[in-house]
Amino acid sequence: MRLQARQVSKAYGAQRVLDRLDLSIDAGEVVCLLGPNGAGKTTLIRTLSGLQKPDSGKVLFGVEAEDENILKLRRNIGIILHQPFLYEHLTGMENLRFYSRLYETALDEGDLHRLMSRVGLGKTRPIPVRAFSRGMKQRLTIARALLCDPQILLFDEPYTGLDQQGCGMLNQLIQEESARNKLILLTTHELSFIRQIATRFAILHHGRIAAEFPNAGVSLDALQEQYSTALGAEKKPLMERL
């Protein structure tokens, strides 16, 4: 199983967000995508998941994507974006039950309860999601992403809203999934947490992967250093460029 972006470009009007980007991720890898705000990390995740079509270039899933049953492909991707995808008036379990039925999974009540426990929501009372804290919503979103037991996980800033315990839970979850040979790509600004589990870092800047390096137990400072260097040369004041 391999996820590949080949020469992917995407522009919003005159602004080029992705510029002939190449990236490939294999099963068992945990790739962390880094980059400044507005670099295009979210756009890349959305393009890889199929929610957005690139202007040019291809996204390939091992086999040529066009031949595969699109629905099966989509259901094999667990995605987390900035917004939680939750229905406010339903309880946590009801949300999971709804998505589980929609995805046509074979999960029963017991399985759903186990999933809730796995993300640390096992003991919550049946209250509507409206009353959940931000952290609880994020945990539920993570649970929702795992419903189909997808082979590919695309997480955009998954640590948002999670407390220390939550971040630890997410790290453990990612390691468990990675051990089951899943393909994981995530974006984050939480360098301290991600360096514990990432197998590789990729830095997105000016629409391309500016740097890629494996996570060979590099220290936090070294990581910061590498990150700044990759971005450093790029900033020029406006007058120079006109």
Partner 1 sequence: MKAWLHSVRVLVWKDLLQEWRSRDILTSMLAFAVLSLFIFNYALELSPINRSEIAPGIVWVVMVFAGTLGLNRSFTAEQDQGCFEGLIMAVPDLSAIYFAKLLTNLLMMVFLAVLVIPIYSILYNQSLFNWAFFGVLALGAWGYSAAGTLISSMTVQTRMRDLLLPVLLFPLLLPVNMAVVKSCGVLLGSVAGQDINGWLNLLLVYDAVVTMLSIMVFEYVIQE
Partner 2 sequence: MSYLSILAFALVLFAFVRVLFFTPVEQTMGLVQKVFYFHMSAAWVGMLAFLAAAAFGILYLSRKDLKWDTLTAASVEVGLLFTIICILSGMIWARPIWNTWWTWDPRLTTVTIMAFTYIAFILLRRGVDNPARRARFSAVYAIIGFISVPLTFFSARLLRTIHPVVFGGGETEMNLNAQMVATLFISLAAFTVLYIALLLQRARLMAQQEELNQQMAAVDSDYDWGE
3-state secondary structure of 242: coil
> Which are the contacts of 43, defined by CB distance < 8 A and separation ≥ 6?
10, 17, 18, 52
Q: Which of 98, 90, 135, 140 is nearest to 116 (CA)?
A: 140
H-only helix segments in 106-152: 109-118, 134-145
Least spacing, CB of residue 170 vs partner 1, in Å? 19
Q: Which does 128 bind (CB under 5 to 8 A by kind): partner 1, partner 2, none?
A: partner 1
Least spacing, CB of residue 141 vs partner 1, in Å? 9
Which parts of this chain interact with partner 1 (CB under 8 A)? 46, 49-53, 71, 74-75, 77, 79, 81-90, 94, 98-99, 101-104, 128, 144
Tell me the pairing of strands 183-187 and 30-34. parallel
Under the binding rule (CB under 8 A), the answer on residue 233 touching partner 2 is no
Q: Which does 111 bind (CB under 5 to 8 A by kind): partner 1, partner 2, none?
A: none
Q: Which does 81 bind (CB under 5 to 8 A by kind): partner 2, partner 1, none?
A: partner 1
User: In the complex with partner 1, which residue's Cβ is closer, 147 or 231?
Assistant: 147
Least spacing, CB of residue 84 vs partner 1, in Å? 6
Neighbours of 133 (CB within 10 A): 10
Q: Which does 75 bind (CB under 5 to 8 A by kind): partner 1, partner 2, none?
A: partner 1
Under the binding rule (CB under 8 A), the answer on residue 82 touching partner 2 is no
Tell me the pairing of strands 208-214 and 56-61. unpaired
Block residue for tokens 């949300």:
95
Q: Which range, of 11-19, 118-126, 153-161, 209-217, touches partner 2 by CB under 8 A?
A: 11-19
> Which are the contacts of 171, defined by CB distance < 8 A and separation ≥ 6?
193, 196, 197
Under the binding rule (CB under 8 A), the answer on residue 217 touching partner 2 is no
Under the binding rule (CB under 8 A), the answer on residue 235 touching partner 2 is yes
3-state secondary structure of 196: coil
17-56 binders of partner 2 (CB under 8 A)? 38
Q: Which of 138, 75, 67 is nearest to 102 (CA)?
A: 75
List residues near partner 2 by CB under 8 A.
12-15, 38, 235-238, 241
